[in-house]
Amino acid sequence: MGVEWFIAACGLYVVTAFVTDVRSMKIPNLLTLPVTALGVLVHAIWDGWEGLIFSAAGFAACFGILLVMYAIGAVGAGDVKLFGGIGAWTGIFFGIHVVVYSVLYAGAIGLIILLFRRDSAKRIRNMAGGLAGFFMLGSLKLVSKEKTLKFPFMLAVLPGFISAYVYMIS
């Protein structure tokens, strides 16, 4: 049983999370917690301590990165736990690739949505002001009090996962 099996199992997890997130804008704990625990357990059984360390490190890296994104309001708590599970199943290398590709896809999706909204010029000015404040004053307040642009992050995670897989096999 090679790494492809672990990625395939994780792929089923990502597709299931995609369906639930698109339908309800939530990724339930009933999905994320057991799948994450199973990922750690399977690696520990399959490769012993080395597998346990591989899985725990993947979990910690992906969970940690998404926790920072959650702290600044970029993702929801379900996304944080989802990525912990992705890391637990696939390890640091693949998991971080999924994070990077997902963030890139989310940026592209957000830009497309932003450009097709009526209030796009105002939002772009507010974003530019927030970024300027961040770089000039060190303020982490990047999001204004007005309603923020939201879409299911899984719209970016699924293509991010596929892109990481294509990158890995090429």
Structure tokens that stand for 134 in this block: 């961040």
The model's pLDDT over 152-168, given as tens digits with 9 standing for 90+, comes to 999 999 999 999 999 98
pTM: 0.82
What's residue 116's pLDDT?
79
Percent of the chain scored above 90 by pLDDT?
68
Non-local (6+) Cβ contacts of 100 within 8 A are 160
What's residue 142's pLDDT?
47
Is the pLDDT score of 119 beyond 80? no
Helices and strands in the chain, H and E counts: 5, 0
Torsion of CA 36, 42, 44, 47, to 10 degrees: -140
The model's pLDDT over 65-75, given as tens digits with 9 standing for 90+, comes to 999 999 998 89
- Residue in 141, 129, 31 with CA at minimum distance from that of residue 81: 31
* Band of residue 140 on the pLDDT scale cut at 50, 70, 90: low
Is the pLDDT score of 12 beyond 70? yes
Helix axes 154-169, 77-115, angle to 10 degrees: 100
The model's pLDDT over 75-96, given as tens digits with 9 standing for 90+, comes to 999 999 999 999 999 999 999 9
Transcribe 6-36 into DSSP letters.
HHHHHHHHHHHHHHHHHHHS---HHHHHHHH
What's residue 138's pLDDT?
57
What's residue 5's pLDDT?
87
Residue 119 to residue 113: CA distance in whole angstroms = 11
